[in-house]
Structure 1
Amino acid sequence: MGKKYTELNDKLGEFIQQQPIFFVATAAADGRINISPKGMDTLRIITKNRIVWLNLTGSGNETAAHLLENRRLTLMFCSFAAEPLILRVYGHAQIFHPRNSEWNTLISLFPVKIGARQLIDMQIDLVQTSCGMGVPYFEFKSEREQLKQWAENKGEAGIKQYWEEKNQVSLDNKPTFII
Protein backbone atom coordinates (compact mmCIF):
# COMPACT_ATOMS: atom_id res chain seq x y z
CA MET A 1 0.00 0.00 0.00
CA GLY A 2 1.12 3.60 0.58
CA LYS A 3 4.69 4.64 1.31
CA LYS A 4 6.42 7.91 2.17
CA TYR A 5 9.77 9.14 0.88
CA THR A 6 11.83 12.29 1.33
CA GLU A 7 12.70 12.39 -2.38
CA LEU A 8 11.84 10.89 -5.74
CA ASN A 9 13.56 7.64 -6.56
CA ASP A 10 14.27 6.48 -10.12
CA LYS A 11 11.15 4.31 -10.32
CA LEU A 12 8.84 7.15 -9.22
CA GLY A 13 10.60 9.57 -11.56
CA GLU A 14 9.96 7.20 -14.46
CA PHE A 15 6.32 6.91 -13.40
CA ILE A 16 5.97 10.71 -13.47
CA GLN A 17 7.52 10.93 -16.93
CA GLN A 18 5.05 8.38 -18.26
CA GLN A 19 1.96 10.31 -17.17
CA PRO A 20 0.32 12.52 -19.82
CA ILE A 21 -1.61 14.42 -17.13
CA PHE A 22 -0.89 15.65 -13.62
CA PHE A 23 -2.79 17.73 -11.13
CA VAL A 24 -1.64 20.85 -9.26
CA ALA A 25 -3.14 21.87 -5.91
CA THR A 26 -2.57 25.15 -4.08
CA ALA A 27 -4.29 27.14 -1.36
CA ALA A 28 -3.84 30.61 0.03
CA ALA A 29 -4.30 31.24 3.77
CA ASP A 30 -7.99 31.76 3.13
CA GLY A 31 -10.36 31.56 0.20
CA ARG A 32 -10.74 28.82 -2.35
CA ILE A 33 -8.50 25.81 -2.84
CA ASN A 34 -7.39 25.33 -6.44
CA ILE A 35 -6.84 22.05 -8.27
CA SER A 36 -5.83 22.19 -11.93
CA PRO A 37 -5.08 19.47 -14.49
CA LYS A 38 -1.89 19.98 -16.49
CA GLY A 39 -0.21 18.28 -19.43
CA MET A 40 1.36 19.22 -22.77
CA ASP A 41 4.96 18.30 -21.93
CA THR A 42 5.27 21.00 -19.26
CA LEU A 43 7.04 19.20 -16.40
CA ARG A 44 10.71 18.43 -15.78
CA ILE A 45 12.35 16.54 -12.93
CA ILE A 46 15.55 18.44 -12.20
CA THR A 47 16.79 16.42 -9.19
CA LYS A 48 15.27 13.96 -6.74
CA ASN A 49 14.03 16.97 -4.74
CA ARG A 50 13.23 19.49 -7.47
CA ILE A 51 10.59 19.71 -10.18
CA VAL A 52 10.01 22.59 -12.58
CA TRP A 53 6.83 22.97 -14.58
CA LEU A 54 5.81 25.46 -17.19
CA ASN A 55 2.50 27.19 -16.49
CA LEU A 56 0.74 28.11 -19.71
CA THR A 57 -1.83 30.89 -20.13
CA GLY A 58 -5.26 29.80 -19.02
CA SER A 59 -8.61 31.21 -18.05
CA GLY A 60 -7.44 31.91 -14.50
CA ASN A 61 -4.18 32.27 -12.61
CA GLU A 62 -5.03 30.79 -9.21
CA THR A 63 -1.79 28.87 -8.76
CA ALA A 64 0.31 32.01 -9.06
CA ALA A 65 -1.87 34.02 -6.67
CA HIS A 66 -1.79 31.25 -4.08
CA LEU A 67 1.96 30.63 -4.31
CA LEU A 68 2.69 34.31 -3.82
CA GLU A 69 0.86 34.15 -0.50
CA ASN A 70 1.64 30.59 0.54
CA ARG A 71 4.39 28.63 -1.20
CA ARG A 72 2.87 25.18 -0.50
CA LEU A 73 2.31 23.08 -3.60
CA THR A 74 1.09 19.54 -4.18
CA LEU A 75 1.40 17.68 -7.48
CA MET A 76 -0.58 14.49 -8.02
CA PHE A 77 0.01 11.85 -10.66
CA CYS A 78 -2.14 8.75 -11.14
CA SER A 79 -2.02 5.74 -13.31
CA PHE A 80 -5.09 5.37 -15.47
CA ALA A 81 -3.57 2.30 -17.15
CA ALA A 82 -1.25 -0.57 -16.20
CA GLU A 83 -0.49 -0.96 -12.51
CA PRO A 84 -2.59 1.18 -10.14
CA LEU A 85 -0.69 3.96 -8.37
CA ILE A 86 -1.30 7.46 -7.05
CA LEU A 87 1.77 9.60 -6.42
CA ARG A 88 1.64 12.89 -4.53
CA VAL A 89 4.63 15.20 -4.39
CA TYR A 90 4.57 17.85 -1.67
CA GLY A 91 6.79 20.87 -1.30
CA HIS A 92 7.23 24.59 -1.63
CA ALA A 93 7.53 26.51 -4.85
CA GLN A 94 8.47 29.85 -6.26
CA ILE A 95 7.29 31.53 -9.44
CA PHE A 96 9.46 32.93 -12.21
CA HIS A 97 8.13 35.18 -14.96
CA PRO A 98 9.84 36.10 -18.24
CA ARG A 99 11.11 39.28 -16.50
CA ASN A 100 13.05 37.24 -13.88
CA SER A 101 16.70 36.29 -14.47
CA GLU A 102 15.99 32.60 -13.71
CA TRP A 103 13.50 32.43 -16.59
CA ASN A 104 16.06 32.10 -19.40
CA THR A 105 17.81 29.15 -17.79
CA LEU A 106 14.64 27.27 -16.86
CA ILE A 107 12.62 27.96 -20.02
CA SER A 108 15.37 26.28 -22.05
CA LEU A 109 14.28 22.96 -20.50
CA PHE A 110 11.03 23.03 -22.51
CA PRO A 111 10.04 23.13 -26.15
CA VAL A 112 8.81 26.56 -27.24
CA LYS A 113 5.24 27.03 -26.03
CA ILE A 114 3.28 30.09 -27.08
CA GLY A 115 1.49 31.48 -24.04
CA ALA A 116 4.15 30.44 -21.50
CA ARG A 117 3.45 32.73 -18.54
CA GLN A 118 5.23 31.35 -15.48
CA LEU A 119 7.71 28.73 -14.42
CA ILE A 120 7.01 27.04 -11.11
CA ASP A 121 10.14 25.77 -9.36
CA MET A 122 9.24 23.25 -6.64
CA GLN A 123 11.46 21.98 -3.84
CA ILE A 124 10.16 18.59 -2.74
CA ASP A 125 9.96 17.72 0.94
CA LEU A 126 7.66 14.69 0.87
CA VAL A 127 6.71 12.05 -1.69
CA GLN A 128 3.78 9.76 -0.96
CA THR A 129 2.37 6.82 -2.86
CA SER A 130 -1.04 5.23 -2.43
CA CYS A 131 -2.60 2.21 -4.06
CA GLY A 132 -4.76 3.81 -6.77
CA MET A 133 -6.97 0.74 -6.96
CA GLY A 134 -10.07 2.94 -7.07
CA VAL A 135 -8.85 4.97 -10.07
CA PRO A 136 -10.62 3.85 -13.25
CA TYR A 137 -8.89 2.88 -16.47
CA PHE A 138 -8.73 5.60 -19.12
CA GLU A 139 -7.00 5.57 -22.45
CA PHE A 140 -4.87 8.53 -23.50
CA LYS A 141 -5.64 9.47 -27.10
CA SER A 142 -3.71 12.68 -27.69
CA GLU A 143 -3.03 16.19 -26.49
CA ARG A 144 -5.63 18.80 -27.36
CA GLU A 145 -4.57 21.42 -29.88
CA GLN A 146 -7.07 24.14 -28.88
CA LEU A 147 -4.85 25.97 -26.35
CA LYS A 148 -1.94 26.07 -28.78
CA GLN A 149 -4.19 27.32 -31.59
CA TRP A 150 -5.80 29.90 -29.31
CA ALA A 151 -2.38 31.22 -28.25
CA GLU A 152 -1.12 31.33 -31.85
CA ASN A 153 -4.21 33.28 -32.93
CA LYS A 154 -3.79 35.76 -30.07
CA GLY A 155 -0.10 36.32 -30.72
CA GLU A 156 2.30 37.71 -28.11
CA ALA A 157 0.56 41.09 -27.81
CA GLY A 158 -2.87 39.49 -27.56
CA ILE A 159 -1.70 37.13 -24.84
CA LYS A 160 -0.28 40.00 -22.80
CA GLN A 161 -3.57 41.85 -23.18
CA TYR A 162 -5.37 38.70 -22.03
CA TRP A 163 -3.10 38.53 -18.96
CA GLU A 164 -4.03 42.14 -18.16
CA GLU A 165 -7.74 41.43 -18.53
CA LYS A 166 -8.04 37.92 -17.08
CA ASN A 167 -4.92 36.82 -15.16
CA GLN A 168 -4.06 39.64 -12.74
CA VAL A 169 -6.17 38.49 -9.79
CA SER A 170 -7.47 35.20 -8.46
CA LEU A 171 -11.10 34.28 -7.85
CA ASP A 172 -10.61 35.70 -4.35
CA ASN A 173 -9.06 38.95 -5.72
CA LYS A 174 -5.52 38.01 -4.72
CA PRO A 175 -2.86 39.53 -7.00
CA THR A 176 -0.80 37.37 -9.36
CA PHE A 177 1.75 40.01 -10.42
CA ILE A 178 1.80 38.58 -13.92
CA ILE A 179 2.25 42.06 -15.36
Structure 2
Amino acid sequence: MGKLFPALLPEHEAFIRKQRIFFVGSAPMDEEGHVNISPKGHDVLRLLSPTSVAYLDLTGSGNETSAHLTDNGRITFLFMAFEGPPMILRLYGKGRVVLPGSEEWEELAPRFELLPGARQIITAELHAVKTSCGFSVPFFSYEGERDTLQKWAAAKGEEGLQQYRKDKNAFSMDGRLTPIGRQTGMSASNEQERQNL
Protein backbone atom coordinates (compact mmCIF):
# COMPACT_ATOMS: atom_id res chain seq x y z
CA MET A 1 0.00 0.00 0.00
CA GLY A 2 2.73 2.50 0.91
CA LYS A 3 5.11 3.78 -1.78
CA LEU A 4 8.32 5.78 -1.46
CA PHE A 5 9.51 8.36 -4.00
CA PRO A 6 12.63 10.56 -4.18
CA ALA A 7 10.64 13.62 -5.24
CA LEU A 8 7.11 14.89 -5.80
CA LEU A 9 5.33 13.57 -8.86
CA PRO A 10 2.75 15.69 -10.73
CA GLU A 11 -0.07 13.69 -9.13
CA HIS A 12 1.35 14.40 -5.66
CA GLU A 13 1.49 18.11 -6.43
CA ALA A 14 -2.12 18.04 -7.66
CA PHE A 15 -3.20 16.27 -4.46
CA ILE A 16 -1.40 18.82 -2.26
CA ARG A 17 -2.99 21.75 -4.06
CA LYS A 18 -6.46 20.41 -3.24
CA GLN A 19 -5.85 20.18 0.51
CA ARG A 20 -7.23 22.81 2.89
CA ILE A 21 -5.07 21.78 5.83
CA PHE A 22 -1.66 20.20 6.36
CA PHE A 23 0.40 19.27 9.39
CA VAL A 24 4.06 19.93 10.15
CA GLY A 25 6.05 17.67 12.47
CA SER A 26 9.43 18.41 14.05
CA ALA A 27 11.48 17.39 17.08
CA PRO A 28 14.64 18.50 18.87
CA MET A 29 17.83 16.49 18.59
CA ASP A 30 17.85 15.18 22.15
CA GLU A 31 15.40 12.68 23.59
CA GLU A 32 14.26 15.01 26.37
CA GLY A 33 12.62 17.60 24.13
CA HIS A 34 9.02 17.54 22.98
CA VAL A 35 7.91 16.37 19.54
CA ASN A 36 5.73 19.02 17.91
CA ILE A 37 2.88 18.72 15.38
CA SER A 38 1.34 21.91 14.02
CA PRO A 39 -1.78 22.20 11.84
CA LYS A 40 -1.65 24.80 9.07
CA GLY A 41 -4.62 26.37 7.32
CA HIS A 42 -5.04 29.18 4.78
CA ASP A 43 -3.30 29.28 1.42
CA VAL A 44 0.25 29.37 2.82
CA LEU A 45 2.06 26.45 1.14
CA ARG A 46 4.06 26.79 -2.06
CA LEU A 47 5.61 24.01 -4.13
CA LEU A 48 8.93 25.45 -5.31
CA SER A 49 10.15 22.37 -7.17
CA PRO A 50 9.68 18.57 -7.01
CA THR A 51 12.14 18.55 -4.09
CA SER A 52 11.49 21.90 -2.44
CA VAL A 53 8.52 23.41 -0.58
CA ALA A 54 7.92 26.50 1.56
CA TYR A 55 5.14 27.85 3.72
CA LEU A 56 4.34 31.23 5.21
CA ASP A 57 4.33 30.84 8.98
CA LEU A 58 1.93 33.07 10.91
CA THR A 59 2.44 34.42 14.42
CA GLY A 60 1.09 32.05 17.06
CA SER A 61 1.46 31.27 20.74
CA GLY A 62 4.45 28.98 20.14
CA ASN A 63 7.40 28.69 17.77
CA GLU A 64 8.42 25.05 18.15
CA THR A 65 9.09 24.26 14.48
CA SER A 66 11.47 27.19 14.19
CA ALA A 67 13.47 26.10 17.25
CA HIS A 68 13.64 22.49 16.10
CA LEU A 69 14.78 23.39 12.59
CA THR A 70 17.55 25.51 14.06
CA ASP A 71 18.53 22.53 16.21
CA ASN A 72 18.61 19.84 13.50
CA GLY A 73 16.56 20.76 10.43
CA ARG A 74 14.33 17.67 10.45
CA ILE A 75 10.79 18.31 9.23
CA THR A 76 7.85 16.21 8.04
CA PHE A 77 4.73 17.44 6.23
CA LEU A 78 1.51 15.42 6.37
CA PHE A 79 -1.43 15.76 3.98
CA MET A 80 -4.51 13.53 3.98
CA ALA A 81 -7.65 13.20 1.91
CA PHE A 82 -10.81 14.12 3.81
CA GLU A 83 -12.91 13.76 0.67
CA GLY A 84 -12.62 11.72 -2.52
CA PRO A 85 -10.26 8.74 -2.83
CA PRO A 86 -8.30 7.98 0.37
CA MET A 87 -4.62 8.85 0.59
CA ILE A 88 -2.01 10.06 3.04
CA LEU A 89 1.03 11.89 1.70
CA ARG A 90 4.15 12.66 3.75
CA LEU A 91 7.09 14.83 2.76
CA TYR A 92 10.39 14.31 4.60
CA GLY A 93 13.08 16.92 4.46
CA LYS A 94 15.52 19.35 5.96
CA GLY A 95 14.01 22.71 6.79
CA ARG A 96 15.25 26.23 7.43
CA VAL A 97 13.76 29.43 8.83
CA VAL A 98 13.74 32.56 6.66
CA LEU A 99 13.11 35.80 8.56
CA PRO A 100 11.77 39.10 7.20
CA GLY A 101 14.51 41.48 6.13
CA SER A 102 16.82 38.77 4.80
CA GLU A 103 17.78 38.49 1.15
CA GLU A 104 16.05 35.11 0.90
CA TRP A 105 12.85 36.61 2.36
CA GLU A 106 12.87 39.20 -0.42
CA GLU A 107 13.15 36.39 -2.97
CA LEU A 108 10.46 34.16 -1.46
CA ALA A 109 7.89 36.62 -0.07
CA PRO A 110 6.44 37.63 -3.47
CA ARG A 111 5.25 34.03 -3.90
CA PHE A 112 2.82 34.47 -0.98
CA GLU A 113 -0.06 36.65 0.02
CA LEU A 114 1.50 38.17 3.14
CA LEU A 115 -1.34 37.63 5.59
CA PRO A 116 -1.56 39.66 8.82
CA GLY A 117 0.83 38.19 11.38
CA ALA A 118 3.29 36.70 8.88
CA ARG A 119 6.44 36.10 10.96
CA GLN A 120 8.71 33.83 8.91
CA ILE A 121 8.89 31.47 5.95
CA ILE A 122 9.79 27.83 6.50
CA THR A 123 11.54 26.20 3.55
CA ALA A 124 12.38 22.52 3.16
CA GLU A 125 14.52 20.50 0.78
CA LEU A 126 12.88 17.10 0.45
CA HIS A 127 14.72 13.79 0.45
CA ALA A 128 11.66 11.48 0.47
CA VAL A 129 7.98 11.48 -0.45
CA LYS A 130 5.79 8.69 0.87
CA THR A 131 2.19 7.75 0.17
CA SER A 132 0.02 5.42 2.22
CA CYS A 133 -3.55 4.23 2.01
CA GLY A 134 -5.49 6.56 4.31
CA PHE A 135 -8.29 3.99 4.50
CA SER A 136 -9.14 4.87 8.11
CA VAL A 137 -9.23 8.66 7.66
CA PRO A 138 -12.87 9.82 8.02
CA PHE A 139 -14.70 12.09 5.61
CA PHE A 140 -14.90 15.76 6.62
CA SER A 141 -16.53 18.68 4.84
CA TYR A 142 -14.71 21.98 4.41
CA GLU A 143 -16.81 24.96 5.55
CA GLY A 144 -14.31 27.78 5.27
CA GLU A 145 -11.26 29.41 6.84
CA ARG A 146 -11.30 30.95 10.32
CA ASP A 147 -10.42 34.63 10.30
CA THR A 148 -9.70 34.82 14.04
CA LEU A 149 -5.88 34.78 13.78
CA GLN A 150 -5.77 37.41 11.05
CA LYS A 151 -8.14 39.71 12.98
CA TRP A 152 -6.04 39.25 16.13
CA ALA A 153 -2.82 40.08 14.23
CA ALA A 154 -4.36 43.12 12.54
CA ALA A 155 -5.59 44.42 15.92
CA LYS A 156 -2.14 43.94 17.47
CA GLY A 157 -0.43 46.01 14.78
CA GLU A 158 3.18 45.58 13.73
CA GLU A 159 4.63 47.03 16.94
CA GLY A 160 2.38 44.84 19.09
CA LEU A 161 3.27 41.76 17.05
CA GLN A 162 6.98 42.43 17.42
CA GLN A 163 6.62 42.63 21.19
CA TYR A 164 4.43 39.50 21.24
CA ARG A 165 7.02 37.56 19.24
CA LYS A 166 9.77 38.70 21.61
CA ASP A 167 7.67 37.61 24.59
CA LYS A 168 6.19 34.37 23.20
CA ASN A 169 8.22 33.24 20.14
CA ALA A 170 11.86 33.72 21.20
CA PHE A 171 12.09 30.29 22.85
CA SER A 172 10.51 26.88 22.39
CA MET A 173 8.63 25.24 25.24
CA ASP A 174 11.89 23.39 26.01
CA GLY A 175 13.83 26.66 26.27
CA ARG A 176 15.52 26.46 22.88
CA LEU A 177 16.35 29.79 21.29
CA THR A 178 14.59 30.44 17.96
CA PRO A 179 15.83 32.61 15.07
CA ILE A 180 13.31 35.27 16.18
CA GLY A 181 14.90 35.14 19.64
CA ARG A 182 18.37 35.57 18.16
CA GLN A 183 17.15 38.45 16.00
CA THR A 184 15.76 40.25 19.06
CA GLY A 185 18.99 39.76 21.04
CA MET A 186 17.70 37.12 23.45
CA SER A 187 19.90 34.48 25.05
CA ALA A 188 19.54 31.35 27.16
CA SER A 189 20.03 33.48 30.28
CA ASN A 190 16.97 35.56 29.29
CA GLU A 191 14.87 32.40 29.20
CA GLN A 192 16.18 31.30 32.60
CA GLU A 193 15.23 34.70 34.04
CA ARG A 194 11.78 34.45 32.48
CA GLN A 195 11.15 31.00 33.95
CA ASN A 196 12.20 32.23 37.40
CA LEU A 197 9.59 35.02 37.39
TM-score range, shorter chain: over 0.9
Name 1:7's counterpart in structure 2. 7
Q: The residue matched to 1:99 in structure 2 has which SS?
A: coil
Q: The residue matched to 1:90 in structure 2 has which SS?
A: strand
Question: Aligned AA for 2:5?
Answer: Y
Question: Aligned AA for 1:35?
Answer: I
Name 1:34's counterpart in structure 2. 36
Task: Name whichever structure is richer in helix by fraction.
Answer: 2
Deviations 1:135-169 (A, max 9, x none): 01101100000001000000111100100111110
Among residues 67, 70, 83, which one is paired with 2:69 in the alignment? Answer: 67
Among residues 43, 46, 49, which one is paired with 1:44 in the alignment? Answer: 46
Task: Name whichever structure is richer in strand by fraction.
Answer: 1
How many residue pairs get matched? Answer: 179
**Residues of 2 paired with 1:6 and 1:64: CA distance?**
25
Q: Which runs of 4+ in 1 moved over 3 A?
A: none
Name 2:120's counterpart in structure 1. 118
Question: Aligned AA for 1:139?
Answer: S
Q: For the Cα contact (< 8 Å) 2:59–2:119, is it kept in 1?
A: yes
Bigger Cα Rg: 2
**Residues of 1 paired with 2:65 and 2:114: CA distance?**
21
- Alignment of structure 1 residues 22-171 onto 2, 5 Å: 22-30=22-30, 31-171=33-173
Deviation at residue 177 of structure 1 after TM alignment: 2.4
**Residues of 1 paired with 2:23 and 2:146: CA distance?**
17
Deviation at residue 100 of structure 1 after TM alignment: 1.5
Question: TM-score scaled by structure 1?
Answer: 0.98
User: Which one has more relative contact order, counting CA pairs under 8 Å at least 6 apart?
Assistant: 1
Q: The residue matched to 1:112 in structure 2 has which SS?
A: coil
Same amino acid, percent of matched pairs:
45
Deviations 1:60-111 (A, max 9, x none): 0000000000101000000011000000000101111003210011011011
Question: Aligned AA for 1:70?
Answer: N
Deviation at residue 2 of structure 1 after TM alignment: 1.1
Task: Give the superposed CA RMSD.
Answer: 0.7
Deviation at residue 39 of structure 1 after TM alignment: 1.4
Contiguous gaps of at least 5 residues in structure 2: 185-197
Question: TM-score scaled by structure 2?
Answer: 0.89
Q: For the Cα contact (< 8 Å) 2:25–2:37, is it kept in 1?
A: yes
Deviations 1:26-61 (A, max 9, x none): 001120000000011110001000001111100100
**Residues of 2 paired with 1:80 and 1:71: CA distance?**
29
